Amino acid sequence: ALGCTDTRTDTVHVFDPPQVGIGAQDVCFGQPVQFLDQTQTAALNPVVQWAWDFGDGGTDTVQDPLHTFAAAGAYTVSLIATTLHCSGSGTQNVLVEAPPVAAFSPDVVLGCTPLDVNFTNTSTGAVSYSWDFGDGSTSSQTTPSHSFVNNGTADSTFTVTLVASTLFGCSDTTVMSITVTPRAVAQFSHNATPGCAPLDVDFTNLSTGAG
């Protein structure tokens, strides 16, 4: 009634919701995915809680989780980031690529030197191949042929390795052995001396590499 007044002021902070970002790389099946929280928010309104959903039934609540998917495929991963005052959400697609299957068959696995071998590549899901024939020779052909040489006096076994890779870089490896026997060398000795017929002579077979 007397016209007395009073005034009070206060500051009210209005925060924007966090801009949720997810960092992740596509991987080959079996490899873990490192997820990074890339959420942007005001300094006075930090993220204090994370709720990850990996799209395969798995979840996590740490800031930067590591997750391994149980099957190959495309997954939509979501993150709900909660700050002191509000929350926001975001998604990221992650591809878990199926691995190739490396497989091959040689037309012969045992023989005399030089042994010519033709390889049939039966790999699936691959676009490039790396062969190691176990003797210092390599090839990137799909279905190579190779000649194995054994200059020794005993059997030699060569381990042939095939690495089959996808365009993304996922790979699978398989190995097979090729055995090469040495070259046969004919040799003998005898005890013959000049004499009249009938002449008895003893022969000793000194050949090597013969079956």
Q: What is the CATH number of the domain that holds 77?
A: 2.60.40.10
pTM for this model (two decimals):
0.72
* Whether residue 85 sits in one domain with residue 116: no
Same domain, 93 and 109: no
**pLDDT for 153:** 86
Verify that 86 and 122 share a domain, yes or no.
no
Q: What is the mean pLDDT of each run of 10 residues along the chain (211 residues)?
A: 80 86 97 98 93 98 98 98 95 97 98 97 98 98 98 94 96 98 80 82 76 58
Residue 46 lies in a domain: yes
| Alpha carbons 53 and 69: distance in angstroms, whole number | 12
Expressed as residue numbers, the domain containing 133 is: 104-181
The DSSP-derived string for 106-171 is ES-SEEESSEEEEEEE--BS-SEEEEE-SSS-EE--SS-EEEE---SSS-EEEEEEEEEE-TTS-E
The tally of domains found in the chain comes to 2
